[in-house]
Structure 1
């Protein structure tokens, strides 16, 4: 990809119609870049999917690279906004040296948002496919770099800090890192709902009720693990 120019925007911050058109183009870009990759998705096809003419892409994004970057920004900002309340709560609990129950609730709060983003977020599969291509070294890593810097690093830092407080082990202790990976790994079987997890569950789809059941089950077993590690910490301190 070549360096992107600054995208053009409608005057005075953008009219409502202009904002809606721009978002339609981004939505179409996320879907087609995810399905076909940067090289395989043509601006003509993206414009057609968005219901606009080809010059509209140039008006809003200058070029194909500019649109791709806008799609990456959109995905990153959307996810960051979804995690913002849980992250604020986690950071507040950590700063206040909160009680054990508050630490566990804060950890489960972040994990719950992760589950929501996989199980119930509208069009989540399209966004995941876009990012998956980057993680698979198929694209220029624009989205994955943004996600890593703006979301994954602060998210991992908060979750490791919470887990460290709950278990009494250091943030860099290998056991803390292993536990963190395995707790987050509970979500992976549901990351691509059309796949093997549906066959294993005997389901045709994950609707709202099934998504709620999966979420409550994963959070319930996570709470059980965190409670057991809290007991281990209390026992070790009593010795």
Structure 2
């Protein structure tokens, strides 16, 4: 079972004030958990960074793990808000048994949206270290499970189904899933190794023109691979 974060609201007219306090704590915790890791980031330091006293953390989140899970839920909610529309479109294309080209377009639309989020959302860069700690097994496992369940699973369900359809293989086949992960992995260099990527390109930043170039190259690669899958498709 995936355990979510405690979400306690003050009684009476303090709802908005309480939500603001909670948001400040989550923002401070995301930064400190990212910089120091779960073990090294203390509740006292989080409270100080958020401009609240330590009992406020216990009131809203119960304990440090509760704050950590709230951070994971915040990331999952914000990213899903950005990606849900293209993922839903992919589900529709699959359910309606649409053409190979429609499947390819749906897969590419998801990738394009992910790239846009990476570079257009200020939050994305702020979350990289927090997510990296979770990927390395640091911090409560429930935090990783929240992000995996609310983001990775619904997205990979769609991308695996599209790849499986194009390959003529089941969506849960190991080769299907590996190919899906490999295509999505093109984006990882711009997320987890952004400094290296920008240095290699002699770029100081990614502006609108450079973002369009990244998207175009990624989508061109993806389309070429997906069309090759159709050519070599297993008979059904």
Q: TM-score range by the shorter chain?
A: 0.7 to 0.9
**Preserved CA contact (<8 Å) 1:193 1:205:** no
Counterpart residue number, 1:89: 89
Structure 1's 74 and 13: CA in aligned 2 closer, same or farther, altered over 3 A?
farther
Counterpart residue number, 1:30: 30
Cα separation, 2, equivalents of 1:89 and 1:223: 18
Structure 1's 203 and 96: CA in aligned 2 closer, same or farther, altered over 3 A?
same
Counterpart residue number, 2:136: 136
Counterpart residue number, 1:190: 190
Structure 1's 5 and 17: CA in aligned 2 closer, same or farther, altered over 3 A?
closer
Cα separation, 2, equivalents of 1:23 and 1:14: 14
Q: How does 1:55-204 map to 2 (within 5 A)?
A: 55-192=55-192, 194-204=194-204
TM-score, structure 1 length as denominator? 0.85
Structure 1's 208 and 51: CA in aligned 2 closer, same or farther, altered over 3 A?
farther
Shift of 1:26: 0.5
Counterpart residue number, 2:21: 21
Segments of 5+ residues of structure 2 without an aligned counterpart are none
Structure 1's 68 and 174: CA in aligned 2 closer, same or farther, altered over 3 A?
closer
May I ask how many residue pairs the two structures share in their alignment? 233
**Preserved CA contact (<8 Å) 1:73 1:146:** yes
